[in-house]
Every structure is written in C-alpha cells, then in structure tokens.
Amino acid sequence: MTASQSIGIKEKSYIARTSGLTTKDYIGYALGDVSCCLVFGLVTSLLQKFYTDIFHLSPLFIMIMMVCARIWDAVNDPIMGRICDRMKPGRYGRYRPWFLYAAGPLTVSAILMFVKWPGFGEEGYESGTAIYAACTYTLFGMCYTMLQIPYGSLAGVVTTDERERTKLSVYRSIGAGLGSLPVILVASFSYKNRLDGQGNPILGANGQVIQDMQFWPVFIGVAAMSLISFVFLMLAFRYNKERVQIAPETVRKSSTYKIISLLFKNRAFVAISVASMLLLAGQMFMQSFYLYLFNDYFSKNWMNLVAMLCTYAPMAIFMLFTPRMVRRFGKKEICASGMIAAAIANLILFALRSVILDLWWLFLVLCFVSGCGLTFIILQVWSMTTDAIDDIEVKTGVREDGTAYAFFMFFRKLGQVIAALAVNGALLAMDYQTAKGAVQSLKTLTTMYDMATIIPAVLFGGMAVVLFVWYPLSKKKVAELQVAKEAKLKEDYESDKIKIAD
C-alpha cells in the first residue's frame, strides 16, 4: 500500500470504511433468506393443511403442539444468541460460518416433517402420528434457530451505513419473497377433485367441487425445495463478508441478565419486535388459512398462487423506489402508513362476503392493495431492527447482536403462536371437520371467510398503532443515530475493540 493510499483510508469516515456494498454483496445476503424461506414457507403455508388433511391431526392438538414448541424457544433462542456472542471470531468471521453448520440439519429436518410413514393418518395410529409430528416440528424449529439468529446478526457487521442497510433490507425481503413463492406452487397443484362411485365430482355445501390434498405431490415438492435451500445456503456463505470484526481477545462476557435488561429498556427495540411479531402473525395466518379458504370456500386452489403473487408482486414494484422514499419520508413514516392501507383493504373484504363468490377477482384485487401496504414494513423491518440495536449501542456502549436477534426472533416466533392460535382456534370455533372424506357445512364455510378477513385487519391495524405511537426512530432520529454511530465506531477502533476488514 502506498503512502497516498494509506492517507486516503485514514481520511475516510469509519462508516465508509465498514461499508461499500456491491451488487454481489446484496445478492449474497439475499440468498440467505431465499434459503430460509424455501423451508420456512413450508411451515407458514403448507404444514397446517398437511397436518389436518394428510395426518388427520385435530386442530386442538396442532395448536397445543405449536404453543409448546414456542415455549421451548423461550429457552432455545437465548442460548443460541449467547453462543453467537461468546464465540470467538475465526477465519470466516463470527456469524457467517453458521451457514455451513446449519445447512445439513435444516434440510433434513424440513423433509422429515412431511414424511408419511406407513399407517400415519390412519385409524389406530393417532398417537404415533401425533408424537412424530411434535418431534419433527420441534427439531425443525431448533435447526431454523441455529441459522436465523446468526443470519440476522450478520446485518450489523456486513455494513454500518444506514442507507446501505435500507437497501440490504430490501434485498433480504425480496429474497424472502422469492423463497416463499415455490411452496404456493406446491400447494396449488397438490389437489384433485373428490369423486363419487360413478366418477362424478362431489359438491360441497356451497355448491363448489370438493378437492383433497394429495401426499406425493406435496412430499416431492418439499424434498426439492429443501435441497435447493441447501445449495443456496452454500452460495450465501460464499458471497457474504463481515466488514466489522470483533477482535478475538475482546469478546465480551457481559452477563445475560444485563443484556436482556438493556434490550427490554430500549423503546425502539421492543416496539419493532412487537410490530414484527404482529406482521409475522398476520402473514402466517393468511398463508395457512388461505389454503382452507381457497380449497373449501372458493374451491379454486389456483387462487393460492395468485393471492401470493398479489401479496409479493408489490415488492418487485416498490423495491426500486423504497430507498428513495425512506430518504424523503423516513422508515417509520412509510411503514405505518402502509399498515393502515393493509388493514382497510381487509376490512373491505370482510364487508364484501355476501357477493365475493361471484366477484372472486375482487378478492385478489384487494389482496394486491393489502400487499402494497404490507410491502414497506416487509422491506424495511430488518433495517429498522438494526437501527434499534445501534440505538442500544450508542446509548449504553454495549452491542450483542446475537442475543438481540435471539429475542427479536423470539418475538417473531410469538407471532407464530398468535397465528397458530388464530388458525386452529378459528377451525375449532367453526367446527372444521378433519376426518377423511369430511364435508364442511355452509355455516363453517361462512365463518371461515369472516375469520380470513377480519383477523388480518385487526393485526395490521395494531401494527399501525405500534409504529405510529410507540416506535421512536423517526427520519430525524435515524439521522442523529448515524452521527452517533460514527463516533462509536471511531472509539471502538482506536481502543482495538474492533477490526475493519480489508
């Protein structure tokens, strides 16, 4: 390195020295969520329907099983977070190696959830089916945690520039959307019409043809998605880089109690965690419950794919404009406004129930409107979370990304609990029949539609309140935070607490 180059580096800000992402970096980071959502989409969209229609498990058991798994996460997630924070950085950094560690277990556990061993789902095998479902579901959750917490933590060391983080969050969310689409293809083409003895389609109480989920198309699709996820995780490991590296000799040993206390005293962190919890609850509820709605109420399973496209297509539109909109209006401001639009779209759907069977296309149009509203928080939630962690660091001098993301992800898993309670509680309330060959009553189908629209409206309306009233990092506050972050980086670098990758 020449003397002039050395002087040039010294004159650059510390944020500039720990930033400078290229398109390859953005795509490499996004591949992490493509991989995650290829398998997580199986849980959010397909698993609930698979449990009731293939394994013939009761909604009450499914609800209890999922709640118990989340209780275990209350122990499992913080442990994983502390492992990440106390692990000394190696050749590939602190968080990046977990792509390699988690890839195999995650792939295997995802496939195991959908294996239908002989007798499963049949009379006399109820207990064995239930135990198998509980064990494989819990195992998948642990493997997913082993990947998600270090992957989320990676955002804080990939770049420290707020604008790059905004763009990084957009790419991650686009990756999530791309990873979530294939499961809807599987769900949309894994059914066939129920026929009577003469080969004629059987009609349900609402006059629509009854269709049944088929095991083999589901299993083949699950296996293919899981293996593709493994390949993308290898690519994500290859194309990510940790620019801020904690010096091995300065790995902090802060008490877990102290870290947790700092997290829950920070208004920004708690607010964005609650908002993300409600977001995931709404997304998971719709993705799981829409399988019932389109199969049993509309009897048009292809609507699954179109509804998913209506939800995620706005991301392809707004991803080009979101960074500019953030600079002009602020993350908090555009995300809260979007949630109001999403809540109103679902309320309108609720009001249209009496005419929606004849105007099914209007359901998809309003799904698109709701998707437009959701797009901004989906694209920015990860950037807002990193802002909150920065806020903790500049106020307290403590930064423990692994532990912070462990609790953030636990809030998101509480969102899964809310979704599980809402989906299975609704199925129980409407007396949904899970027995092989069951026919749903007209009252059940009517209640199904009401639940499919009013529950998302309530969740998204709650998010708007949280973001407008509780989350404090407005456009002005984020700009002030970036200045404070520069000073903190300078202090840590000069005291040899961090190293900056070349």
Taking only the tens place, the pLDDT of each residue in 283-301 is: 989 988 998 999 999 988 8
Boundaries of domain holding 67:
16-500
pLDDT at 245: 78
The answer to whether residue 5 is domain-embedded is no
Asked whether residue 3 is assigned to any structural domain, the reply reads no
- Report the predicted TM-score, pTM, of the whole model to 2 decimal places: 0.83
Residue 432, domain CATH: 1.20.1250.20
Residue 11, in any domain of the structure = no
Cβ proximity of 95 and 153 under 8 Å = yes
**Average pLDDT score over the chain:** 90
Q: What is the pLDDT of residue 11?
A: 59
Q: What's the pLDDT at 400?
A: 86
Q: Helices in 116-198 by DSSP H: which ranges?
A: 126-158, 162-188
pLDDT score at 253: 56
- Mark out the alpha helices in 330-441 (DSSP H runs): 331-351, 360-396, 401-429
> 27 in a domain, yes or no?
yes
Distance from CA of residue 346 to its chain's centroid?
21
Q: Identify the pLDDT of residue 196.
A: 86
Task: Give me the pLDDT at residue 252, please.
Answer: 56
399 part of a folded domain: yes
The low-confidence residues of the chain, meaning pLDDT below 50, are 1-9
3 state DSSP class of 211: strand
Rounded to whole angstroms, what are the CA distances from 456 to 55, 280, 349, 365? Answer: 27, 11, 11, 16
In a domain, 271, yes or no: yes
In a domain, 336, yes or no: yes
Burial, 502: exposed, middle or buried (Cβ in 10 Å; 0-12, 13-18, 19+)? exposed
| pLDDT reported for residue 3 | 44
The domain total for the chain is: 1
Q: What is the dihedral of CA 361, 362, 363, 366, to 10 degrees?
A: 130
Alpha-carbon span 254 to 261, nearest angstrom:
12
Q: Has residue 373 been placed in a domain?
A: yes
